[in-house]
């Protein structure tokens, strides 16, 4: 049995053959999570404006080019956008932001909170629009364990992987507890809106079920809202692993990261016969993605980051993975 999941949308933005980008959204606003910063042209400005946190694996262009659209969608918002990545992310994001000319309208209050992940420590800086983006002040902190980000609904874990440049793999883990139920919300009498977040906070802090709330002209008890629009679920894990070799030393860490995941999205750049290329450019082969899926006992493996040389014959990669792990899919 799979873990109940709370997300309302889980989308491999460019499919298995394009830049690996994963968009995960939840009911309510400003709470979407994005894994990787490659091409995101098929996400609307509204979807990007709904982002709460972005997790960059590394700075190769196919994983970082989309930062411009992320900034554009968020620059006139009054919120904090969290952005994670490997060392030098602060300077790189700062340089990009500084490369634009701004009118600096008073309503532009975006704060980009950039965190660099290093082994055993993090470096964080706030890039603030209201201050007209002065040089970042960096705060360094000890970082133990794997959790790099946490909100009321999810935690995100990170582990360093082995690519040609510093690179991280991530997993999102939903907390067990009450979450908005996307199906119930879609079919319910009340239109989704700000009340969803308000009601959720009241449920989570344990306000009495008899509390009466007025929403869209009607009165409801907290208990009835909990039953009709929310579900007790969570624990679902989604792992995002890309641009790494599959080595003995990395194996235990990646297996732990992907353990029991509802879905593992995994690098499968090469087929078996390109073992040399995989070793040289530090990518995974499709059958290695399947080995990881098997060891981590995931529910579903989604292959991604197919090299363009396989265009028209992607089936080859899918078949090689399926031989090792039958619950393999790809989005072509
Ligand atoms: Zn790369
Ligand atoms: Zn890549």
Q: What is the rounded distance in angstroms from the CA atom of residue 320 to the CA atom of residue 17?
A: 16
> What would the pLDDT profile of 269-302 be if each residue is shown by its tens digit?
999 999 999 999 999 999 999 999 999 999 999 9
Distance 221 CA to ligand 2 centre (A): 50
Which ligand sits nearest to residue 164's alpha carbon?
1
Distance 299 CA to ligand 1 centre (A): 26
Q: What is the rounded distance in angstroms from the CA atom of residue 107 to the CA atom of residue 75?
A: 10
Distance 224 CA to ligand 2 centre (A): 47
Distance 156 CA to ligand 2 centre (A): 21
Per-residue confidence (pLDDT) for residue 153, from 0 to 100 = 87
The edge-to-edge listing of strands for the beta sheet with 22-25 is 9-12, 22-25, 32-35, 51-55, 80-85, 111-118, 121-128, 139-142
| 8 A C-beta contact, residue 292 and residue 254 | yes
- Residue 49 host element (H or E): helix 45-49
Which ligand sits nearest to residue 59's alpha carbon?
1
Distance 129 CA to ligand 2 centre (A): 31
Distance 41 CA to ligand 1 centre (A): 20
Helix H segments across 188-325? 194-204, 222-229, 251-258, 275-281, 286-295, 315-324
Q: What is the rounded distance in angstroms from the CA atom of residue 59 to the CA atom of residue 49?
A: 22
Distance 252 CA to ligand 1 centre (A): 22
Regarding beta strands 237-241 and 263-267, do their DSSP bridges make them parallel or antiparallel, or are they unpaired? parallel
Residue among 230, 227, 319 nearest 271 (CA): 319
- Return the half-sphere exposure (C-beta side, CA atoms, 13 A cut-off) of residue 283: 19
10-residue stretch averages of pLDDT, the chain, 332 residues long: 70 98 87 97 96 98 98 94 98 97 91 97 97 97 96 94 98 91 90 90 92 95 94 89 97 98 98 97 98 98 97 97 98 94
Per-residue confidence (pLDDT) for residue 204, from 0 to 100 = 87
Beta-carbon contacts of residue 308 (< 8 Å; ≥ 6 apart): 17
> What would the pLDDT profile of 203-259 be if each residue is shown by its tens digit?
988 899 999 999 999 999 999 999 999 988 778 999 999 999 999 999 999 999 999
Q: Which residues pair with 10 in a beta bridge?
A: 24
Per-residue confidence (pLDDT) for residue 278, from 0 to 100 = 97
Secondary structure (DSSP) of 145-197: SSEEEE-SSEEEEEEE--SSS--EEEEEEEPSEEEE-HHHHHHSSSPPSHHHH
Q: What share of the chain is helix, strand, coil (3-state, %, to 5)?
A: 30, 30, 45
């Amino acid at each position: 049995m799979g873990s109940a999941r709370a997300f309302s949308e889980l989308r491999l933005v460019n499919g298995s053959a394009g830049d690996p980008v994963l968009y995960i959204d939840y009911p309510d606003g400003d709470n979407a999570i994005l894994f990787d910063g490659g091409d995101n042209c098929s996400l609307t400005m509204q979807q990007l404006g709904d982002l709460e946190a972005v997790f960059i694996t590394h700075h190769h262009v196919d994983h970082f080019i989309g930062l411009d659209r992320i900034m554009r969608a968020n620059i006139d918002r009054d919120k904090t956008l969290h952005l994670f990545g490997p060392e030098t992310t602060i300077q790189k994001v700062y340089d990009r932001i500084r490369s634009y000319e701004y009118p600096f309208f008073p309503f532009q209050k975006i704060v980009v909170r950039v965190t660099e992940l290093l082994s055993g420590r993090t470096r964080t800086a706030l890039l603030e629009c209201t201050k007209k983006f002065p040089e970042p002040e960096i705060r360094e902190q000890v970082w133990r364990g794997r959790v790099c980000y946490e909100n009321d609904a999810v935690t995100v874990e990170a582990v360093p992987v082995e690519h040609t440049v510093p690179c991280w793999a991530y997993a999102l883990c939903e907390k067990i507890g009450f979450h908005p139920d996307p199906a119930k919300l879609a079919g319910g009498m009340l239109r989704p809106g700000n009340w969803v977040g308000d009601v959720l906070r009241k449920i989570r802090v344990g306000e009495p079920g008899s509390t009466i709330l007025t929403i869209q002209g009607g009165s409801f008890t907290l208990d009835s809202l909990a039953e009709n629009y929310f579900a007790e679920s969570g624990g679902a894990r989604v792992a995002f692993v890309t641009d790494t070799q599959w080595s003995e030393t990395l194996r235990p860490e990646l297996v732990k990261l992907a353990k029991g995941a509802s879905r593992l999205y995994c690098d499968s750049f090469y087929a078996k016969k390109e073992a040399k290329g995989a070793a040289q450019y530090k990518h995974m082969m499709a059958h290695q993605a399947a080995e990881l899926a098997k060891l981590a006992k995931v529910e579903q493996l989604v292959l991604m980051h197919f090299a363009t040389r396989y265009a028209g014959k992607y089936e080859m990669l899918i078949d090689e993975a399926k031989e090792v792990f039958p619950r393999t899919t790809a989005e072509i």
